[in-house]
Structure 1
Amino acid sequence: MTSRSLPLSTNVGAIISSPATTIAAPAVVPTIAVRLDRNNYMLWRALTLTNFSGASLHGHLDGTTAAPSKTLTEGGGADARVVDNPDYHRWWTQDQKVLGLLLSSMTEDIVCQLLGCPTAAAAWSAVQSMFGAQNRAGVQHMKRQIQALKKQDMTAGEYMQKVKALADAMATAGSPLSDDDIIDYMLIGSG
């Protein structure tokens, strides 16, 4: 199968819960423009976070939208009984929709490694673990590139563009450089 993006736009009911008023409001999750493969983790991550955050569903990825208790106790004393919690069912249904959208934005070889993940947060964490070391190695490689970059026969504008492109790539990878560091690299490499 190719790594083309698959349409993921769908209505996903956002849960706003309180025991008396539980409202399901449709939230549209835009299509994730790329499918995660072995070479595009940072791009895929940025697009995925933006899409799910825009639909107020990022809490299912980072675990901050915690699962309510599976059961409730109704009544008191001898009449107390344990019943299924409808808020848990709504949360679980929502989480499974998020998990499905997340998995469908990946290539098959990556999805196969995540099939045992019961929640969206578990899948998100597993993907971060899978690609974290690769990302750290990429950041180190970019750091060495920016340190070794010399102006040589480039124009000042071309040289600054290359430094900025590397600095932007590092920021996208989660390791931004300060403005002072970027200026230092430009000054050192231009001499």
Structure 2
Amino acid sequence: MSSPNAVSQATLEYLARRLDDLAADFPNTSAGVDLGTLTDHIAMLTHHLDYANGRAQERFTAAETVYLPERGVLQQLAEAAVGITGALNILAQALAHAAHGYRTEAIPGIGHTHLRGDQATTLTIVAAKYADARARLTDTAAALHPAPVRGSSSGPLPTAIPATRPTPPPPGKDRTSAPRR
């Protein structure tokens, strides 16, 4: 019988769906970037990280033994936390960049270059960070889905085992001549 605190594949699938949904919500272009929404996305990633860590904490503080199958699930959950943290870091860098652009505009006497404080450049950089975070989250979510069972692939099965080519004889050896006595 499984523990009420058990972490199962269903936990991983739930988290994978949430990460996929969040990644799909990320803007694809700089025109779709909104810094208020960026802070919301950071908050949601923090929530998902808290969820993953909370589930692991519940399980490890329970008195029941953690058996091997559940340990594998907990390992995947920990690896998901690493992926979420990476995406969170990327989005935090995007927010820091955007905030720095605003700070340089607010400080008098700072030399203005064509890139410093330029809203379009800031949004382009934030959009690129979003793309990196999206890739990290989709990779993390994909790793949480169960591995397909061998033999149940949707692709065509090979019809024959490919033939191997015979290896040529080593240099200096002639196969056609009889051995010398």
Q: Which has the higher strand share?
A: 1
Q: Which has the higher helix share?
A: 2
Higher relative contact order (CA 8 A, sep 6+): 2
**Fold-level match, TM-score > 0.5?**
no
Structure ID, larger Rg: 2
TM-score, normalised by the number of residues in structure 2? 0.28
